[in-house]
Structure 1
Amino acid sequence: MKVYRIFADHYQFYIYDSDYDHYSDERLNWVSAIAKDFGYISTEKAIYVKTVSDLNDHRIRVFINQEPSISYERVFSTNIELESGKLIVSAPANDEENDFVLPLEPGSYKISVCGNSIGKDMFSFDTEYYEEMEDSEYFKHDEFENYDIYLNKCN
């Protein structure tokens, strides 16, 4: 399992093949694209995830060759083509060095984007959290909106 913290500015983050020019694909235009479950949009090489919580920090965990072992509030499943062998998790304001790059064997994968604590952030609770907490501390907070990504190679 890999763990990553992303700032999903504009309530969105992207999952895509590294060789895919997703910004130029009109099918991924938030205004004109046909939204799928949970307001997500996708193609055969990318998924644009629409988040909910007002604070846009989210923990993302990536699981390879595993199926979800807990229940989730949201599950979005589809196939994704990773011709480059590199899965990227990014957000609109990210620079390349902020992207999460996951090397994989090139091919087709079943991908499930699973979310919990939808709409909850550190201001949703009576507890006062330190806003600038380190990633290692932030990763412990299942009560904040978070996402698990499961990837399984198709035959």
Structure 2
Amino acid sequence: MRQYRIFADYHQFYLWDHGTSPEAPTDYSEEDTTRRIKAAPFVVVIQPERDMDVPVQLDLCDAPPDEPLDGWDHVAEASLELPSGQLEIHECTGGSVDIIPLPPGTYRVRACFGRLGTLSEDGLEGDDHYRLLLWPAPFAPVALLKQYAGEQAG
């Protein structure tokens, strides 16, 4: 388990393959925004509720997690190809947060969003928190496992 405080400027941060240095996608559909996750070649975009520093926990797993989703407001998954075997966590307008060596391959990223309804009226304060789980898995389309019923981020 790794803990971070990530600056989610523009309501996003990235998981990507450090060796390919991908471009972050700029074409967002309404579906991408609703799902709060977007996948492109060698990159997964996580879209937190706040565009401030947010607490993020990353767990590397050997297999798909079988934990219940009850404690989360929103849960979505996407695939991430890591041909270099170097997972980089990168801020939108900031820099690299961490580079984690992993066996090269394709991974599944589950993004869990918690306490989204705790944001202040101006959206600057809140107890929202995020957990990312990553495990080796064949490529699969983005999947929405649990939809948040509140308002969408910026």
Counterpart CA distance in 2 for 1:43 and 1:78 is 9
Unpaired runs of 5+ in structure 1? 125-130, 132-142
Give, in angstroms, the shift of residue 112 of structure 1.
Answer: 0.7
Which residue number in structure 1 is paired with residue 38 of structure 2?
41
Question: What CA RMSD, in Å, does the superposition of the two structures yield over aligned residues?
Answer: 2.5
Tell whether the 8 Å contact from 2:115 to 2:128 is kept in structure 1 after alignment.
Answer: yes
Unpaired runs of 5+ in structure 2? 139-154
Q: 1:22 to 1:119 in 2, by over 3 A?
A: farther
**SS of 2:116's equivalent?**
coil
1:84-110 deviations in Å (ceiling 9; x for gaps): 1111111122234xx122211111112
The yes-or-no answer on 1:152 pairing with 2:135 is yes
Counterpart CA distance in 2 for 1:92 and 1:16 is 12
Structure 1 runs (4+) greater than 4 angstroms displaced = none
Tell whether the 8 Å contact from 1:8 to 1:51 is kept in structure 2 after alignment.
Answer: yes
Aligned residues: 129
Give, in angstroms, the shift of residue 80 of structure 1.
Answer: 1.0
Counterpart CA distance in 2 for 1:21 and 1:100 is 14
Task: Kindly name which structure, 1 or 2, has the bigger radius of gyration based on alpha carbons.
Answer: 1
Give TM-score, length-normalised by structure 1.
0.70
Seq. identity, %: 22
Tell whether the 8 Å contact from 1:52 to 1:119 is kept in structure 2 after alignment.
Answer: no
Give TM-score, length-normalised by structure 2.
0.71
